[in-house]
Structures are given as structure tokens and as C-alpha cells.
Structure 1
Amino acid sequence: MTATTAHARAAARPCDRETSLTRSLLGYGVIAGPVYVGVSLTEALTRDGFDLTRHAWSLLANGDLGWIHITNLVLAGAMTIAFAVGLRRAHGRGWAPRLLAVYGLSLLAAGAFRADPVQGFPRGVPGGETTWHGVAHLASGGVGFTCLVAACFVLARRFARRGRAAWAWSSRATGALFAAGFLSMVSAAGAAWSNLAFTAAVVLGWAWIGALAAHAYRNA
């Protein structure tokens, strides 16, 4: 089927209320990543004392302007959950929507439980102290990232069964690279290369979610 034929068939399908709702939910998956990454990068480049080579984005939740990143996390989490609901409506029950919903919930939890200050950010705030909300933040991130990686491989298997080799390969690659970036951050915390690798993995993860949402939207 050519792209033109697929587009013509999609345009010919009746856009009833249920379809419109499903597409609206899927649309949140398209915008969640650009919003989260765009706001986070803007914060990282403008917040005093923040260093992209040393500090994870989650540290932006600290300080007088921390509410911006907390709001960013909550919005990204809510949009991811909405996308997961849309994916379930579009493609039926399965593990992928559930795993993505848990990832969205983990973002909400990461916003609720602030990361502990470390490595001199925010400027003037002593780091190194471990708090209960810092531990909760790390735990929510670990659960969420694991679910995102699992969703990549679950969908890779589904795409492979349907003969969508490019999607299967890209989903596996995203899952593997995200897992590698997360493990590098955990094992070499504080190293510039590991922090940059994890940041790149986060951007890649959001890009995959956005592409998946756009694909599901076109086929809803």
C-alpha cells in the first residue's frame, strides 16, 4: 500500500465521536516529548549554576524556580497517560499501553517527590544529603524507565509479527539504547559522559513515543 493510498483510506474513514476522542488522546503522545524536552532544555540553559555535563534534568525541580520543572514533569506524565489510554483504545488490550501508563505515572511521582540537590545545584545549597523524597524520586524513575524499555521490546515484537521490520528494529534499538543510557548514569554517576548519555537516552525515548503516537494516530 502506498502512502497516497493509505492517506486516501484514512481520509475516507468516518471520523465519529469515538475516533475523534481516540485521536485526541493519541495526539498527547505527539506533543508530550517536545514540551518536556523543550522546557527542560530552556531551564537547563537559563538556570544559574546548572551544567548539562554534570547535572540531570531532575535536579531542576530544586530551587526557587523548581516549580517550573515540577509542572513540566506532571504535564508530561498526564499527557503520557492520556496517550497510553488512546493506544489501548486504538489497538486493544496488551502490555504496551499498561507499561506506558506506568511510565506516565512515574513522571507524576517524580514531580511529587523532588530529587535531592547534588554536585552544587542549586548554587549555594549543600548536596550529599539523602532524603526520603529523594529516594522516592529515584525509585519512581527506576520503575518508569524499566517500563518504558519493556514497552519498546513488547511493541518491537508486535511490529515484527506484523512484518513492520523498520518499526521493530527502531523499537528494539530505542529500548536497548535507553537501557544503556540509564545504566551508565547509575553506574558512573557524576561522570560527564554518563550524564550526557542519559540525557541523550531521554531525548531518544521521547522521540520514539512521539513517532509511535503519530503512527497510531494515522492508523486510528
Structure 2
Amino acid sequence: MDRLLLHSGIAAALLFFIVPTILVFTRRGFDLERHAISMLSLGEGGWMMKAVFVVSGLLVIASAWGLHQELMRGLGGIVAPLLIGGYGVGLVLAGIYDAPEGLGFPPGVPEEQPPEMTAEAKLHSLAFMIAFGSLILSCFVVALHFWQVERLFWAAASLIAGCALPLLIGLGVSMTIAPGIAFYWAAMLGWLWIAAILAVLGPAA
């Protein structure tokens, strides 16, 4: 049962990689250089991205419980599952509250950013911060766990992921690179890390 729960997080990673990537190339008017992938939840067909957020979030929460059951004690068994569960909660909230419209998407809305964010858009931004904040912190907690059990490759990989995620987000926010592209690769890196660590963490970890 614990393994099944852990594998639910891997299923979430596959879901979030496959469906949004297809939508990026098939949704009319969507431009990854201008639009964050969370904007795929807007307009006609937006229900698909909303479903991805909610379902993947619930699967991640299930995997966090499985991780706790596998490791039980210490940072690996308590703090890491709480943080990964926080990532799942942020994803569910992002599916409930829509990203702000703007920059010509969905088709028919003005090309510029809205002058101020709606309450729903603010809640979506809060969900983003909860999700990525939890994910980034979990990278460092899991890195410490792997260090303590002398699995140095995975400790280093988790440390690198924990540093790369805020770097990518910062590059997008500062518009050093296109925000949509930066956020897309940050999301995919995060999912790759989650899938990898859930695949290797187990009773012997």
C-alpha cells in the first residue's frame, strides 16, 4: 500500500508533464514565451488544466502520506512529507482559483496585463507561492535526509534541484528569460525531482 501511495506521486508527475505540454501546443492563442502554463486553465478548454492541477495535487498529497509511512521518523519521515503535501495543497488551490487573464489570452482579452489583480487571481498567486515554496524547501530537507543515510548522489541531486528551482523562477520574474518558459521548466524540473525521489525512497532509504 505504501508503495502504491508513493507511485501516485510519480503518476502525478507524468500527468502534469504530458497534459500541459500537449495543451501548450494545441490551445489557440497560447504562447509559452508570454503566458504561464497556469493560464491554460482559462477560457474554453481550461477545465482540462484545472483538472490536472487538482488531480495531480491530490496524488501528491497521497504520495506524501506514503512517504511518511515508509520513513516514519526524522526529517525524512515528518518534515519532508509535510512539505511535499504542502506542494500538493498549492496545486489543488491553483486548480480552484484561476490565474489572471491578460496578454491576449484567452483569445479576446486585451493584450496588456490587467491594471490590478482580482481576488481570485491573488488567491491563485498565493497557491503558486505555497506550492513552489513547499517544493523548494522539501528539496533541501530531502537532501539532508539522503546525506544522513549516505546516499550522496541523491543528496546532491536534491540540493541542485533546490537551488535551480528558485533560480528559474527568479529569471522568469525578472524577465531575464521569458517568464512562461522559465516557469514551465521550473515546473518540469520539480516534477522530475519528485518522481525520482519517490522512485528511490523506500524501506531501505
TM-score by length of 1: 0.85
Work out whether residues 70 and 203 of structure 2, in 8 Å CA contact, stay in contact via their aligned partners in 1: no
Q: Any idea what SS the aligned residue of 1:118 has?
A: coil
For residues 145 and 104 of structure 1, the distance between their equivalents in structure 2, rounded to whole angstroms, comes to 10
Structure 1 equivalent of residue 107 of structure 2: 123
Structure 2 equivalent of residue 87 of structure 1: 67
Q: Any idea what SS the aligned residue of 1:94 has?
A: helix
- Two-structure CA RMSD over aligned residues (Å): 1.6
CA deviations on 1:60-108 (whole Å, 9 max, x unpaired) are 1100111111001001101100100000000014210000001100000
Distance 1:185 1:192, change over 3 A: closer
Where structure 2 has 5 or more consecutive residues not aligned to the other structure, the ranges are none
1:88-107 paired onto structure 2 within 5 Å: 88-92=68-72, 93-107=77-91
Work out whether residues 184 and 198 of structure 1, in 8 Å CA contact, stay in contact via their aligned partners in 2: no
How many angstroms does 1:48 deviate by? 0.3
Rg larger in 1 or in 2?
1
Whether 2:186 is the aligned partner of 1:201: answer yes
CA deviations on 1:176-200 (whole Å, 9 max, x unpaired) are 1011112222232xx6534322211
The one-letter amino acid of 2:16's match is: Y
For residues 217 and 124 of structure 1, the distance between their equivalents in structure 2, rounded to whole angstroms, comes to 50
For residues 192 and 186 of structure 1, the distance between their equivalents in structure 2, rounded to whole angstroms, comes to 9
For residues 105 and 47 of structure 1, the distance between their equivalents in structure 2, rounded to whole angstroms, comes to 26
Whether 2:3 is the aligned partner of 1:23: answer yes
Structure 2 equivalent of residue 150 of structure 1: 137
Where structure 1 has 5 or more consecutive residues not aligned to the other structure, the ranges are 1-20
User: What number of residue pairs does the alignment pair up?
Assistant: 198
Whether 2:39 is the aligned partner of 1:59: answer yes
Structure 2 equivalent of residue 43 of structure 1: 23
Q: Percent identity?
A: 35
Structure 2 equivalent of residue 184 of structure 1: 171
1:58-77 paired onto structure 2 within 5 Å: 58-77=38-57
CA deviations on 1:10-55 (whole Å, 9 max, x unpaired) are xxxxxxxxxxx11110111111111111100111110000011111
Whether 2:116 is the aligned partner of 1:132: answer no
The one-letter amino acid of 2:106's match is: P
Distance 1:64 1:165, change over 3 A: same
Of the candidates 152, 157, 163, which is equivalent to residue 165 of structure 1? 152
For residues 81 and 35 of structure 1, the distance between their equivalents in structure 2, rounded to whole angstroms, comes to 15
Work out whether residues 71 and 202 of structure 2, in 8 Å CA contact, stay in contact via their aligned partners in 1: no
Work out whether residues 36 and 76 of structure 1, in 8 Å CA contact, stay in contact via their aligned partners in 2: yes
TM-score by length of 2: 0.91
Distance 1:139 1:97, change over 3 A: same
